[in-house]
Structure 1
């Protein structure tokens, strides 16, 4: 079973990488980009066959390793 985790900084947390990308886009002539938030995508290939069990396992992975839940939020897709 495949799982995809999207990890993003929580609203209100400074995103220096996003600011650098926004600045670079402006320097390249791309106007109208007001804000950029950068995150990460983690793809997992799981042996689990039960969707609920897979989601619970991935949620535990996020809480323990994949996301810093103090400053980041995450969304899980199972499919």
Structure 2
């Protein structure tokens, strides 16, 4: 069994209204000193098998086809 984490974030230069709203809410709640906030999403997956290279290739294909909108999002894959 291979455990993996995929992190998807907006590309630099893409507006992030949700991140801006979170930053404003943090300020309203009294958390000072917070600069800009960017939000993203995390996927934790368990894959059958033990071949890490094959798992990384499959995870990248999953990102390209479903998990990330590669026009506006970047992704990173971490396999343990």
Tell me if both proteins adopt one fold, taking TM over 0.5 as the criterion. yes
Name the TM-score, length of structure 1 as normaliser: 0.97
Deviation at 1:34, TM superposition (A): 1.2
Instruction: Give unpaired runs (5+ residues) of structure 1.
Output: none
* Equivalence for 2:75: 74
Structure 2 gap ranges (5+): none
Q: Does the residue aligned with 1:36 lie in a helix, a strand or coil? A: coil
Could you say which residue in structure 2 is the equivalent of 1:6? 7
Q: CA deviation at 1:31?
A: 0.8
The TM-score normalised by the length of structure 2 is 0.96
Q: Deviations over 1:35-70 (max 9, x none)?
A: 000000001100031010000000000000000000
Please say if 1:49 is aligned against 2:61. Answer: no
Q: What do you get for the CA RMSD once the two structures are aligned?
A: 0.5
> Runs of 4+ in structure 1 displaced over 6 angstroms?
none
In the alignment, what sits opposite 1:36? 37
Aligned length: 79
Give me the whole-angstrom Cα distance separating, in 1, the residues matched to 2:49 and 2:14.
34
